[in-house]
Amino acid sequence: MKALEQQNLATALRYLELYNHDIERFVPECYAPDFEVHTMGLGVIRGYEQFLEVERAVLRAAPRRRMRLDHFHVAGDTVVLEITLLNPDAGADWVLPFVAVLVMRDGKIVVDRSYAEWPRWPGL
């Protein structure tokens, strides 16, 4: 794996850690100021404040939700994460698979194209 790919994978792993443990740091530490999150089929999120509002709503709806990394793929400036969202508040067996395609620049996410069954995602 090239140095750039290692840096991008480190950002993606930080994305998982901060999503699970500190949503207030997740957005500004993982995303570039000019980022776009394309929740495929649901809309586009731009700007730290809009993204934090969405994530705070999710956290209120599912305070113990967690991402579990199942697989990752790295190629150049792109990291693809195959993730399972877990929400113990909805039951021990509740899971929601999703895929995040993260395009990086200078160690931060500039484009996030995420695919999931959005109506099942808590708080959306």
Q: Which residues contact 77 (CB under 8 A, 6 or more apart)?
A: 4, 8, 103, 104, 105
Per residue of the chain (124 residues), what is the pLDDT tens digit?
Answer: 899 999 999 999 999 999 999 999 999 999 999 999 999 988 999 999 999 999 999 999 999 999 999 999 999 999 999 999 999 999 999 999 999 999 999 999 999 999 999 888 888 8
| Overall fold of domain 3-120 | Nuclear Transport Factor 2; Chain: A, (3.10.450)
User: In which order are the strands placed within the sheet that holds 43-46?
Assistant: 43-46, 31-39, 108-115, 95-105, 78-86, 66-75
Q: What is the pLDDT of residue 122?
A: 84
Element (H, E) at 52: helix 48-61
Q: What is the pLDDT of residue 111?
A: 98
